[in-house]
Structure 1
Amino acid sequence: MELVADRTAAEDVLLFVNAAIASTGQREFHSDADAQQWSMEFLHEYMLVNYRDLYAATLTLGVNDRNAAAIIMRLLQSGRDASPEQRAVEGRLIAKALTELPTHRVYHLFTALRKARVNNRRTRAIMREWLAARPDPAFEAVKYRSAFLGAIRHAHMKVEDLPSEELEAFLFGWHAAGRFDTPQFETWRRAHFDRRAVFELPYTVAEGFAAKHRITRAEFLEKIAPQLTRGERLRLQRSAARFGAIGIAADVAGLSRMPLTRLAAYVLALPVEEREQRRLELTDALRAAARRVAGLRAGTWGRVAAVLDDSYSASGSSEKRRRPLVVALAAHFLLRELASAYHPLWLSGDADPIMARARGVTALGERILDGLEERPDLLVVVSDGWDNAPVGMAAEVLRVWEERLDSERKTAVAHLNPVFDAAGLQVRRLSPTTPTVGIRDAEDLPELVEFARFATGRTGIAELRAHIDSRVERWLTEETPCTA
């Protein structure tokens, strides 16, 4: 009975980690946003109540930004339920996690804390330390003006404690302040009456002023181009082309510097004709991005076969367009670099990943069998797990393989699932004994394949806790001290 309880606890933690990696609370192909959000709310609350210390530690396990912010929110809301020792560790984990989150996500979290009236001493201390460490508070005061001001007030922070002159005048009395010496503040002030200043502001701030000055979309896109980040430039290319804004052109050299998964999303969003025309450029960029992720691990994984899901369900949803296919494409290029010998198997049978598109049934069983026939060192399956042609064939293939053909486990199998199944409260498994882990970004693939060894159903909570404790120790090695 104790052994069963031990494994159940480990499965609970793994279930949450997988869900927190894969789910963003948005609509998926097989479930709507409400179901996704309700299921994740339940899992967050269940983990917080039953495994609080492990719940906090999951911040170190690659959970996505949305769920990392949700974990921080719940820990700060429920501080009175934690012991002093737990609060000390949580404070360090939260401080470190905030430095890992995108800036806009942190301000969104601070706004949520303010609206929920979470204003305990620990929350204020954590907010103050994060704000005081910002490298360019003047820029953030302009770009996130209302959220920045709300965070300062909620943290009971004095503006003069921040390393930026004129900040108080900018936030509380810019009408009476006259000209500013701080360039960002002066540009923002001039943008209220001088349309030329609009094009010197960050894109998201400039959009509001463009509407105020009735600047046409074509003119705005053409003149704001120098202020765009690489991600904004790529995201706006097709819109700019429609309006004839030639200033926003493809940055060929910049493509290879893009994160691998984001680059894969960009490629799959292009029309088929454009992908065909730019095949060499796009392929080279994806390979360069994959080599950067692989690093010193390049070529060290031995013989690898990959079953990559490009069935119709890989088209995702209106909120997560092509996301499962994006992850599969990015994983394909990364595995190609990690393996010494690599054999990709797309469900559609296509051999050209650049032209990948979601179509057809999810016939995983046949493709898994093809991959196993070569007896690779590692078989990776990237799929949402909805095996339906025929239903259950993948599970049966894997069962027979493990029980009769590879009882010595010479071939490792890992299933990476980019989709959270809200109805099942987990990422959908291919078989009970095949390790399945959630995946959000292909960059995390090497660590997730290693983590998959805990998802076989045979791991106890002690072994899992030891692994998580070691991750926490490594993660906090270079932390910024937090007194909260």
Structure 2
Amino acid sequence: MSELVAAEDVLLFVNAAVTATGQREFRSSAEEQRFSLGFLHEYVRVNYRPVYAAALALDVNHHNAALIVEGLLRTAGEAGGAEEKRAEGRLIAARLAMLPPQRVYRLFRALRAAGVNNRRTRAIVRGWLAARPDPALDAVKYRTGVKAAVRHVHGRPADPETGDFLFAPGRRVRYGNALLDAYRRAHYEQSAVYELPFTVAEGFAAKHGVPRAVFLERIAPRMTRLERLRTERASGAGAELAVMPLTRLALYVLALPFGERVGRRAELTGALRASARRAAGPYAGSWGRVTAVLDDSFSSSGSAVKRRRPLAVALGCHFLLEALAAPGAYTALWTSGGDDPLMVRPYGPTPLGTRILDALETEPERLVIVSDGWDNAPPGLAGEVLRVWRSRLDPGRGTSVVHLNPVYDADGFDVRRLAASVPTAGMRDAEDLAALVEIAQFAEGRTGFTELRAYLDRRVEHFLTEAGA
């Protein structure tokens, strides 16, 4: 029993770390989210520290990965010994290499503000700074963060020019590095603006009064794929949709007016399917008969800061499950009753129970439910349907059922579940679906802590091997 409780505690944290971002959700405020998440981090760090560190090897989101790193570095004295510290250090270094640089610099500023300056922290910060591929780009794009990090570890940039740019900008008349010199010239020369990264150039373009359309046209070669996607409609440039991550692409599609979705149906559908096939990888076509119940009720509209995020996850899962299922063996059932995934919108109640009954009638090998778990038409029907199905009609588990929930429930310290007999996993990005279905097996209450630790050890080994490569 104690092993099952420990496994449930860890899975509770994993669900939160995958799903929650400390931002407002449809039914809870940002303050409630942060308080709930903070409690879980402290509880798991104190009681299961090795597992807390091992979570860095899982598909936790960037927000929680940064919180885990900060928690481990703040409490270095609580580590069990030298071997445990070395294991934590390897996981921290590998995870920091995956995080967006702006988030890492924000983490370093938080550590500095908290007075965390032990030897391991300084070594990790120095190692990460030394591994940056273009220190001059970081100095221009993340100037404040770089200065704070260098000062915190009592270091200095390896390149003297970058050091002068950061700490003595008036010392040099010009710089040998083209990017640093472009930043200097951009203060008075408009042509230099287009030699800078997009986010930096935006400020200079506004300072020089450059019309937005002209600026976007000329800066296009310097923009990343995501920046081109965000500005595509304003600039008139064609975004490379097919190479975008699945959930980001789904968010982009849902932000388009219905008329534009109809006019670009072939392009958008092709891009979503290409992205889904890429996410499916070697598992494409291997899941047999699959039926999905997808939540497009009003609560899938998300919140002001996570607009349409739950619906985008459901849309991404639709195309990914289509790619994972055997050819012609996929059925999608939206809670609204609609049958055109490109035209979905957050509307109406959540009749999950009715749609699950419809799904079970298709006799699938796998039933995947993507919903925030608020079954309300009528309340509780979904849980009762699943309970009877599992206990009376399918005790041999001929149909695999899993519930994936894209919304963290701050009051319950977990994602909301439909039934005790059905495993539930939190998810943030649709492309993580295959991995989350794998880890959901531990949420059925039949697997102990030992098996879960063995699974985490395998994930850590694979994660560190890939990071080393």
Q: For residue 93 of structure 1, what is the aligned residue in structure 2?
A: 91
Matched residue of 2:290: which SS?
Answer: strand
Q: For residue 432 of structure 1, what is the aligned residue in structure 2?
A: 420
Aligned with residue 412 of structure 1, among 377, 392, 400? 400
Q: For residue 345 of structure 2, what is the aligned residue in structure 1?
A: 357
| Residues 165 and 182, structure 1, Cα contact 8 Å, conserved in 2 | no
Aligned-pair identity (%):
61
What's the offset of the Cα at 1:174? 2.5
Cα deviation digits, residues 256-284 of structure 1 (max 9, x gap): 01111111110001011100100010000
Distance 1:231 1:212 in 2: 24
| Residues 293 and 335, structure 2, Cα contact 8 Å, conserved in 1 | yes
Report the AA paired with residue 262 of structure 1.
R
| Residues 156 and 163, structure 2, Cα contact 8 Å, conserved in 1 | no
Distance 2:421 2:125 in 1: 44
Q: CA RMSD in A?
A: 1.3
- Structure 2: gaps spanning 5 or more residues: none
What's the offset of the Cα at 1:165? 5.5
Aligned with residue 58 of structure 1, among 55, 58, 64? 55
What's the offset of the Cα at 1:415? 0.3
Aligned with residue 475 of structure 1, among 458, 463, 469? 463
Q: For residue 70 of structure 2, what is the aligned residue in structure 1?
A: 73
Q: For residue 193 of structure 1, what is the aligned residue in structure 2?
A: 188
Distance 1:278 1:175 in 2: 52
Cα deviation digits, residues 330-354 of structure 1 (max 9, x gap): 0000000100110111111111101
Q: For residue 264 of structure 2, what is the aligned residue in structure 1?
A: 278
Matched residue of 1:300: which SS?
Answer: coil
| Residues 53 and 86, structure 1, Cα contact 8 Å, conserved in 2 | yes
What's the offset of the Cα at 1:141? 1.1
Aligned with residue 168 of structure 1, among 152, 163, 183? 163
Q: For residue 318 of structure 2, what is the aligned residue in structure 1?
A: 332
Q: For residue 234 of structure 1, what is the aligned residue in structure 2?
A: 229
- Is the counterpart of residue 402 in structure 1 residue 390 in structure 2? yes
| Residues 7 and 461, structure 1, Cα contact 8 Å, conserved in 2 | yes
What's the offset of the Cα at 1:480? 4.3
Q: For residue 43 of structure 2, what is the aligned residue in structure 1?
A: 46
Matched residue of 2:444: which SS?
Answer: coil
Report the AA paired with residue 48 of structure 1.
R
- Is the counterpart of residue 366 in structure 1 residue 364 in structure 2? no
**Counterpart mapping for 1:311-350 below 5 A:** 311-340=297-326, 341-350=329-338
| Residues 95 and 480, structure 1, Cα contact 8 Å, conserved in 2 | no
What's the offset of the Cα at 1:300? 0.5
Distance 1:129 1:120 in 2: 14
What's the offset of the Cα at 1:427? 0.1
| Residues 244 and 275, structure 2, Cα contact 8 Å, conserved in 1 | yes
Q: For residue 111 of structure 2, what is the aligned residue in structure 1?
A: 113
Distance 1:480 1:156 in 2: 27
Cα deviation digits, residues 115-162 of structure 1 (max 9, x gap): 1111110000001111111111111111111111211121222322xx
Report the AA paired with residue 328 of structure 1.
A
Distance 2:112 2:200 in 1: 23
Matched residue of 2:85: which SS?
Answer: helix
What's the offset of the Cα at 1:82? 1.0
Report the AA paired with residue 154 of structure 2.
H
Q: For residue 19 of structure 1, what is the aligned residue in structure 2?
A: 16
Report the AA paired with residue 393 of structure 1.
L
Distance 1:194 1:424 in 2: 56
Q: For residue 243 of structure 1, what is the aligned residue in structure 2?
A: none
- Structure 1: gaps spanning 5 or more residues: 241-245
Report the AA paired with residue 416 of structure 2.
R
Higher mean alpha-carbon deviation, 56-65 vs 469-478, is at 469-478
| Residues 57 and 459, structure 2, Cα contact 8 Å, conserved in 1 | yes
Matched residue of 2:203: which SS?
Answer: helix
| Residues 284 and 325, structure 2, Cα contact 8 Å, conserved in 1 | yes
Distance 2:348 2:337 in 1: 11
Matched residue of 1:380: which SS?
Answer: strand
Matched residue of 1:59: which SS?
Answer: helix
Q: For residue 124 of structure 1, what is the aligned residue in structure 2?
A: 122
Q: For residue 434 of structure 2, what is the aligned residue in structure 1?
A: 446
| Residues 105 and 149, structure 2, Cα contact 8 Å, conserved in 1 | yes
Distance 1:479 1:339 in 2: 31
Residues 237 and 479 of structure 1, relative CA distance in 2, 3 Å threshold:
closer
Report the AA paired with residue 333 of structure 1.
F
Distance 1:7 1:390 in 2: 32
| Residues 32 and 410, structure 2, Cα contact 8 Å, conserved in 1 | yes
- Is the counterpart of residue 179 in structure 1 residue 174 in structure 2? yes
| Residues 14 and 55, structure 2, Cα contact 8 Å, conserved in 1 | yes
Matched residue of 1:375: which SS?
Answer: coil
> Structure 2 length as normaliser, TM-score?
0.97
Higher mean alpha-carbon deviation, 216-225 vs 430-439, is at 216-225
Matched residue of 2:367: which SS?
Answer: strand
Distance 1:309 1:199 in 2: 44
Q: For residue 250 of structure 1, what is the aligned residue in structure 2?
A: 238
Cα deviation digits, residues 17-69 of structure 1 (max 9, x gap): 00110101111111111111110011011111111111111111111000000
Higher mean alpha-carbon deviation, 201-210 vs 71-80, is at 201-210
